[in-house]
Structure 1
Amino acid sequence: MPAHLRVTLALLTLLMASGPLHAYDPALNLIMPRGGMQGKEVVLHLHGDRLFAPRELLFYQKGITVKHLEKIDDKKLKVTIQIAPDAPLGEHAMRLRCDAGVTYMRTFWVGPFPCIDEAEPNNDFAKPQTISANHTVHGTAGNEDVDYFQIQAKKGQRISAEIEGMRLGSIFFDPYLAILNDKRFELATSDDSPLLRQDAFVSVIAPEDGAYTIMVRESAYEGNDRCRYRLHVGHFPRPRAVYPPAATPGQENKLQLIGDPTGEYAHTLTPEPATEGSIFPLFASNGGLTPPSPNPLLISKLPHINESEPNNWWKNLKQQTIPKAPCALHGIIAERNDSDFFFFRASKGENLRIRARSRDLRSPLDTVLTLRDAKGKYIARNDDQGGPDSIIDFKPPADGEYSIQVRDHLGQGGPDYTYRIEIKPRQAAISATLPVVKRNESQFRKVICIPRGNRYASVVNISRKNHSCVCALDAPSLPQGVRMQASEAAKSSNSLLAVFEASPDAPIAGSLYSLFVRDTEPKNQIRGPLNEVINHIEINNTGVFHHTTSQHIAIAVIEEAPFHVDLLTPPVPIVRNGTSELRIKIRRQDGFDAPVKVTLPWKPSGVGAPTSITIAKGKSEAVYAINANADATLGTHQICVSAEAKTPKGTVLTSSSLVPLSIREPFISAKLEMASTIPGQAVSMLCKIEHPHPIQGQAEIRLLGLPHGVKASPRHINNQSKEVIFDLEVAHDAAKGNHNSLFCQVLPKQNGHAIPHQTAQGGSLRINPPPPVKKSTKPGQKPAAVKKPAANKPLSRLEQLRQRNQ
C-alpha cells in the first residue's frame, strides 16, 4: 500500500476511533490490557468519557465474568474479570452499560498463553527482549519503531509467531513479522495472510540449536502510540488450512490440518447439530499446544464428495461417485495452473445456485467457475459475484449430468488453496439489520437505549432472498417494563419502523437480546435473525478492515429524559402530488428549555420532507411539512418522529409513538390551457377540472408559479365544476417570455381540515413584447384610412365563461 495512503488511513482511523464527542451515551475508547489467558484473573483499565454511573460489562460470549467494577472518575474504570479455563479462544465482544446508556462495542482477546508486557528499549537487534516460548507479548509499534524478541529453540523444533494488530479493532495498523537467526538472516517473513487478513503469522523449523529473534513493526514503519498488538511466540502449531473445509454436524469428522511446517496432522471433530450452517472456529491442537487463532470450518449436513485425482479435464475425468444436486464438492488447487472438474446430476428446471466458498473460509483461492453440459458444451462462467467467491445461478435445460470446473483467477495454487462448491436450490430467506446512520461510523445508534417513561425509535432494514413477502418484527424478550410497537414492511418496502417504550417504573437495566423478522403469512414459516454488523475499522472509499457480527442487540432502559415528544395523528390523508403538515408537541420538564431537533426516521416511499426541523428554545409546538410525489405508495403507513436535545450529560434521544399516515389518490385533477398577452394587458386562463373522487362542499383553487408582475385571485369549485377561469392582472413591467411553470393548488376540506393538492403542473403563460409604436404622419402626407369595424364574431368558449363569471 502506498505510503501517502497509509498516512491518510492512519489519520482517519485515529480520528474515528475516539468515537463521537456529542453522544449522550457513555464512551468507552480504550481497554488495557487488550487480552488475557484462559483460566486467569485480569485487571482491566477502561478509559473513556461520560462514565457517570457504570453498572456492568455486557459480554457477547460466555466465559468471562466480572468480579469487581470500580469507578476511578468519569473517564476511568478499574474492572477485575475472571476468564474461565474453557472460555472460547479469540475475540470477545463487549459493551459497558451505564445508567445513561450503553457504549460502542469494544473487544477483548482470550489466548492460550501467559501474557507479558513489552520491555523497552528492545529496538536493537543486538539487544532484544528475551522471552520464554509459548507466551503472549502486549506491545506497541511506534513511528519507525522495530521491536525484537528472542527465544531459544533446538534443532527440528517448531518456532511460530502470530500477531493480533488490525484484529484488535482500534486503529489502522498493518503489522509485519519476521523470524531471524543469530546472523540476522530472515528465515520467514509475513505482512498479510489470507487466514488472518491484515495480520501476520510465521512458522518455521529451527535449523539448529540456538537463539532466534522475532521482529515486529508496522509494515511501512508508520506506527504510533496507539498501534498496540498482542504477539504470540512459541512452539505452537500454525496450520494454514483445514481439509475438507466442511464438517457434518452430529457425526464424527476426520480432518487434515494443512500448512504447518512440521507437516499435516489429523484432527477429529463431532459438531453439535445446532451449529448447522455456521462457521466453526477450529482450534486444532498438536503436540499438546493450540494455535492462538482458529481455522474456519463450515458446519453443513449437505451431502458432499472430495475430489479424486486425476480430475484436471472433463474428458479424462473418472469420478467414482456422481452426486445428485443438492450436494457439495471439496478440493484443493494444489499447484500453479491446476484446475479441477466434477460431474454432478441435476433435474430439468431446478432453480439451482452453484456457489464457491473459499475466501469466506480464509483460503487464498480466488475461484473461477465454469459450467458445461455432459458433452463439454459451455453454459456459464463466473469469477466474482459481489466478492472474490464465484456464483452461478442455473436452471438445467434437461435431466442429466453437468460438469463444473474450478480454477484460480491468476493461475495460482498451493496445498492450502482449499475450496468447497455448493450446488443447491435457491432457498427463500429473510433477515434484518440496523441501518448505518453515519458514514464510516457503523456503531452510531446501533444500540437501543430507551429513557425510562419514554420511547426510542429505530429503523430496521429488511433483506429478502428469493422471496417476496410482508415482514414483521418479533421481540421474544425485552427488558422488564419495555414493550415494542412495530410497523410491517410491505412487499415493496425494504425497511420497517420499531418503537420501544419503557414504563415509568421500568428498572434501569439492560442486556443483549435477539430480534427476528418473519413472513406475516403463517403458512410460509419463514423467519430470520436481526444481525448486528459492527465495522471496527473502516476507511472511506477503501473498505472495512475488521468487523464483528452477532445476532444480539444491546437494549437498555436508561435515565429519564427531560422531555417527551408527541406526533399528533394527521386528521386527513395526504394525496399524491400533495402536501401535509405534521403537528408536533414537546412536553418539557420544569427547567428544561433547550432547543429540540426533530427528524422523521422513516418515511413511506415517495414521501419527502426536510432532513430535520428545530423547535426553538422554550417552544413546545412545531409543524413538520411533508409532501408526496406522484408515485407515493398508497395505503396507511405507520410513522413517528425522533427528537434529540442537549442536556448537561450530552444529547438525549427520544421518539413519539407510531401514528397512521394515509396516502390517497388526488380528489381533484386539473389542466391549464395556454394563455398569451402583452405587458399591461389583462388575460384570462382556462383551467379544466376533473373529479376522480368527490369532495365535501367547495374547494379553493389557486393559480401559482406566476411570473413577476402577474397576479390571479383564488377561485372556488365544487363537485359539479368542470372548468374555472383565472383572470390574470398583468403589470406593465411584467416579466416577458414563455413561462411554463404554472400550476394549481387545490384545497378541498374534510371535516374542516384542508387536503392540499398540487395539480395542473406545466401550465404556460406567454408574455410577448408590446407592438412597436406607429410613427406619426409626415407633413403633406394623407392620414391612413380608418378601417371599418369588423362584424361581430361569435364569442369563444373562454370569453363566454369570462363574461358569465363577471
Structure 2
Amino acid sequence: MRKKTLVRFIAGMMGFWLGATSLAQLVCLPAPRLLTMLPMGGEAGTSFEVTITGENIDGENELLFSHPKITAKPKVSDAGKAVANTFVVTIAADAPQGVHDARVLSRLGISSSRAFSVSGLPEATRGKPNTSLATAWELKPNSICNAVMTSRSVDFYAFQAAKGKRFAVECAARGIDSKLNPVLIIADDKGRDLLADRRGGLLDFKAPADGNYFVKVHDLTFQGGPTHFYRLAFLEEPGTGPAPRQPSTTTVSSFSWVPDEAANLPKLTEAEPNNQQTEAQKITLPCDIDGRFYPAADVDTFEFTAKKGDVWWVEVASERLGLPTDPFVLVQRVTQDGSEEKLVDVAEFNDIPSPIKPSSNGYSYDGPVYDAGSADALGKLEIKEDGVYRLQLRDLFGGTRSEARHVYRLIIRKPAPDFALAAWALHMNLRNGDRNALSKPIALRAGATMAFEVVVVRRDGFDGAIELGMSDLPEGVSASGLKIPAGKSVGTLLISAQENAPRSFSGAKIFGRAQLDGKTVTRPGRLASMVWPVKDASQEIPNPRLVADVPVSVSGSEGAPITIAPAESKVWEAKAGDKLTIPLKVTWRSEFTGASIKLSPMGADFKGVKAIDIPLKAAGSEVVLDLAALQTPPGEYALVLYGSAVAKYRYNPEAVKRAEEEQKKAEQEAIAIAEAAKKLADEAKAAPPEKKSEAENTVKAAVGKQKSAEAAKADAAKRMKAATDAAAPVDIVDIVVAEPIRILVTPKDQK
C-alpha cells in the first residue's frame, strides 16, 4: 500500500495555492527535452545527418547516446559555423543492434531521451511526399525507410514481387517513442487492399502472383506530423517461422523480469501437441521453458511430480518481453477416483501487482503516473501432498488471435529471494485542474534537490530492508536514499546539486543494497521516464517507459529558485529521548507568491514532526525533533523536508543581456554605415564628370551595405524581443525539496 507521503501532502495543500493563483500557471520548472529526430536510427558502420527538435534546448548543444559506439558532431556549414540542431552521427560497425537512447546536453543540462535504433540493414530517409500511387516511394528488399507520417493522408510505398515470394513488412512506431498508431496495408497494383493490420504494424505477406504491389501506411485516426514518425522495414523471408520484429523500448513493468536468475536451470522447449490433459508434456522441476501462445486459444499443459513440503516459485515472462499478452497459470493435482482421473485445483497465478497503486486518472492526481505492475505471473506454489501435478498456461487474450510471435518463458524454481528496483521523478499532484504528466530528466540546477520514488518488486519471499544509493555522479552532486523499510514497497532517492556546483555531466547508476542469506548484495535500479511531456492528460494518454541509463547533469547557467539546507553540512547528533534543534539556511533566487513556504518531513521515520513555515525572504528557520515523542530508536537517519511553492520564474535572462548588447552593436553599425553612405552620396554629387560613374557605383555598394545593416538591425531587434518575451516572469508551481539532513541518534546514557 502507498504511504501518505509527498503525493498526498501536495494534493491537499495545493487547493490553497491554486485558490490564490491563476489556474493557468505552469507546473514544474522548464526542463530540456528532446522531442524528435530524423532519421530515428541507422545502419551499423555508417555516418549520416540527423536533425532534431526539442523544448528548452537553446544554446550550443551536444547530441549524446546511451552507448559509446554511437557518436555525434555538429554539422558545420561552408562558412565554418555549426548548423543549428543538425548533427553528423556515426555508428561504429560493432555497435550493438537494438534501441538506444539519444539526448541533448544543452544550457539547462541533459534532456529527456528519444529512442534511436541501430540496425544491420541499409537505411534511407524518405524525402519527397508519397501520398498517392503515382508518387509511391520504392522499397528495396531487406532495408529500412525512416519517415514522418503525412497528416490526414496515406503514405504509399511500392515493391515488386514474384509469385510465392514471402515478405515481412513492419511499421515500428510505438516501440520507438512515436505517437503514431499505424495501420499497415498491402495492396495490389491498382491500390486494392489485399492484407491489413490495424494493431501491431506487421504484415507477413506471400505474393499471390508476379507483379507490382503497394504498401500503404496511415495513422488510425489519420493524424500526422513530426511526432508521428516511423521506421518501415521491408524484408525478404525465405523461412516459415515467425516474421522478425524490429527492436523496441521496454515498458516500466519489465524491470521486474530478472532472467539471469534462471541461468543455471535446465532448458526445455514447449512441444506441441500439449493442449489436452492426455497430451501433457512431462517435465522435471526445476526448469526453464521456452514456449509460444500459438495458435489461437492455445493451452500448454505440463505434468510433473512433487513431494509434500516442496516450495516452488512459478514465473512467466511474456508481457514483460514487450508482447500484448496476459499469461494465466493454473496448477492442479491429479488424483484417481476408481478408473476416472480427477483434477483438484491447487493454485492460480495471474498478474504481478504494482508495488504501489498507480494514478487512477492517467496523470498524477492520486498516485504516480507509472504502473510498475505486469500482466505476467509470479507466485509461490506450496505442495501439500505427494503426487502428480499439471500446470496449464494460456494467454487470456489469445482466444481470438493467432500470433506465432507471442512467446513466453516459464520458469519453475526453488526459492531464490531477491528484488528488482525502478525509480522515477515525483510529479506534482494538484487537486484543482493540473493534468501534467511530464518527462523529467535529471537536469539539476545548482542548489536544487530532486526527489525520486523508488519501488521494489520482491521476489521469492524476500522481505528485508533495502538501502538506496547512487554512484558515478558528476562533480558537485550527491545522492541520499530514504531506505525501503522491511516489508514495504517504496522508498525515496534524493539527488542534490551543491550551490556552487559547476556545469557537469555523467552517466550515473542507481542501486539498492540488502542482506540476502546473510550476505550483502547490491542490485541495479532502472530509471523510468515519460516518453512525451504531456501537459494535459485529458487530451493525451501518458506513455512511460524504462530508459537505458541514468544520465545526471548540472546546469552552469541557472540556479534553483530556492535552496533550503541545514546550516552546517555535518551529521547532527543527539541522544535517544532528547530534543534536537537543527537550524536551516535559505537562499532565495526568485520572487515567490504567498506569505511562506510550508515544509513537512518525507518518509516514515519522522512522520510525526509538524510542518514548519518559512516566511518569504527569511534567511533561515529551524526544525525541532522531539526524539522522545517520536520514539526514535538509536541509529542513523536522513531527514528530508519538502513542500511546494509558486515562483516568479524568468527563462534565461542572460539571453536578454546578450541580445541587448547585440542589438546595440547592430544599431551602432547601422548608424555608422548610414553616415558613411550619406557622405559617399554627397561626394558623388560633387564628383567631376570623369569620376561620376565610379562614385555612383561606390554609392550603390554603400547603399547595399546599408540595407544589409538595417536588416541585421531588424533581426537583432526581433531576437531581443523574443528573448525578452521568453524571460518575462511567469508563475510556476514546483516541488521544493530541502537538502537531506543526516542525523545520528545515540543510546541514552545509562544511570
TM over 0.5: yes
Residue 56 of structure 1 deviates from its aligned partner by 3.1
| Matched residue type, 1:236 | E
TM-score (norm 2): 0.65
Structure 2 residues not aligned, in runs of 5+: 1-25, 245-255, 336-342, 354-373, 430-434, 653-731
| Matched residue type, 1:656 | E
Q: Distance in 1 between matches of 2:118 and 2:633?
A: 53
Structure with more helix by fraction? 2
1:466-477 map, 5 Å: 466-477=461-472
Aligned to 1:556: 553
Structure 1 residues not aligned, in runs of 5+: 1-19, 194-199, 240-256, 262-275, 281-297, 665-806
1:754-769 map, 5 Å: none
C-alpha contact 2:444 2:554 (8 A) present in aligned 1: yes
1:418-497 map, 5 Å: 418-438=407-427, 444-447=439-442, 449=444, 451=446, 454=447, 456-463=449-456, 464-465=458-459, 466-491=461-486, 494-497=489-492
Q: Distance in 2 between matches of 1:547 and 1:81?
A: 26
Q: Distance in 2 between matches of 1:119 and 1:630?
A: 73
C-alpha contact 2:163 2:208 (8 A) present in aligned 1: yes
Residue of 31, 35, 50 corresponding to 1:25 = 31
| Matched residue type, 1:565 | I
1:705-784 map, 5 Å: none
Write the deviation string for residues 352-411 of structure 1: whole angstroms up to 9, x where unpaired. Answer: 222233333355664332212242333233454544434452111134432112334364
| Matched residue type, 2:268 | I
Residue 175 of structure 1 deviates from its aligned partner by 1.0
| Matched residue type, 1:147 | D
Residue 64 of structure 1 deviates from its aligned partner by 0.8
Residue of 288, 293, 309 corresponding to 1:328 = 288
Point out the more displaced range, 564-573 or 553-562.
Answer: 564-573
Point out the more displaced range, 642-651 or 336-345.
Answer: 642-651
| Matched residue type, 1:105 | S
| Matched residue type, 1:343 | E
The 3 A distance-change label for structure 1 pair 90 and 498 is closer
Aligned to 1:373: 333
Residue 34 of structure 1 deviates from its aligned partner by 2.6
- Is residue 353 from structure 1 mapped to residue 326 from structure 2 by the alignment? no
Q: Distance in 1 between matches of 2:465 and 2:348?
A: 34
The 3 A distance-change label for structure 1 pair 134 and 152 is same
C-alpha contact 1:277 1:299 (8 A) present in aligned 2: no
- Is residue 228 from structure 1 mapped to residue 252 from structure 2 by the alignment? no
C-alpha contact 1:167 1:546 (8 A) present in aligned 2: no
- Is residue 93 from structure 1 mapped to residue 94 from structure 2 by the alignment? no
The 3 A distance-change label for structure 1 pair 505 and 588 is closer
| Matched residue type, 1:64 | I
| Matched residue type, 2:346 | I
1:46-445 map, 5 Å: 46-54=52-60, 56-68=62-74, 76-111=84-119, 112-120=121-129, 122-171=130-179, 173-193=180-200, 200-221=201-222, 223-237=223-237, 258-260=241-243, 300-315=263-278, 317=280, 319=281, 322-323=283-284, 325-362=285-322, 366-375=326-335, 376-386=343-353, 387-409=374-396, 411-412=399-400, 414=402, 416=404, 417-438=406-427, 444-445=439-440
Q: Distance in 2 between matches of 1:302 and 1:31?
A: 42
Residue 133 of structure 1 deviates from its aligned partner by 4.0
Q: Distance in 1 between matches of 2:537 and 2:577?
A: 40
The 3 A distance-change label for structure 1 pair 418 and 129 is closer
The 3 A distance-change label for structure 1 pair 497 and 209 is closer
SS of the residue aligned with 2:309?
Answer: coil
Q: Distance in 1 between matches of 2:501 and 2:320?
A: 43
The 3 A distance-change label for structure 1 pair 630 and 337 is farther
The 3 A distance-change label for structure 1 pair 41 and 336 is closer
Query: Percentage identity across aligned positions?
Result: 19
Write the deviation string for residues 302-337 of structure 1: whole angstroms up to 9, x where unpaired. Answer: 2133344553333464x5x541x2213344454455
C-alpha contact 1:162 1:233 (8 A) present in aligned 2: yes
The 3 A distance-change label for structure 1 pair 315 and 603 is closer
SS of the residue aligned with 2:503?
Answer: coil
Residue 93 of structure 1 deviates from its aligned partner by 0.8
| Matched residue type, 2:345 | Y
C-alpha contact 1:509 1:557 (8 A) present in aligned 2: yes
Q: Distance in 2 between matches of 1:533 and 1:518?
A: 20
The 3 A distance-change label for structure 1 pair 467 and 340 is closer
Residue 87 of structure 1 deviates from its aligned partner by 2.6
Q: Distance in 1 between matches of 2:631 and 2:35?
A: 43
Q: Distance in 2 between matches of 1:41 and 1:224?
A: 28
1 or 2 for the larger relative contact order (CA 8 Å, sep ≥6)?
2
Residue of 30, 43, 46 corresponding to 1:37 = 43
C-alpha contact 2:185 2:194 (8 A) present in aligned 1: yes
Residue 531 of structure 1 deviates from its aligned partner by 1.0
C-alpha contact 1:369 1:405 (8 A) present in aligned 2: yes
| Matched residue type, 1:93 | D
The 3 A distance-change label for structure 1 pair 420 and 604 is closer
Write the deviation string for residues 579-607 of structure 1: whole angstroms up to 9, x where unpaired. Answer: 99986432457xx6667966557243672
TM-score (norm 1): 0.61
The 3 A distance-change label for structure 1 pair 343 and 632 is farther
The 3 A distance-change label for structure 1 pair 630 and 467 is farther
Residue 180 of structure 1 deviates from its aligned partner by 0.5
Write the deviation string for residues 519-563 of structure 1: whole angstroms up to 9, x where unpaired. Answer: 168933332212112231589599978544246311223326376
CA RMSD of aligned residues (A): 4.8
Q: Distance in 1 between matches of 2:151 and 2:345?
A: 54
How many residues are aligned here? Answer: 583
The 3 A distance-change label for structure 1 pair 457 and 231 is closer
Q: Distance in 2 between matches of 1:614 and 1:164?
A: 51
Structure of higher CA gyration radius:
1
Q: Distance in 2 between matches of 1:350 and 1:541?
A: 50
| Matched residue type, 1:188 | L
1:664-743 map, 5 Å: none
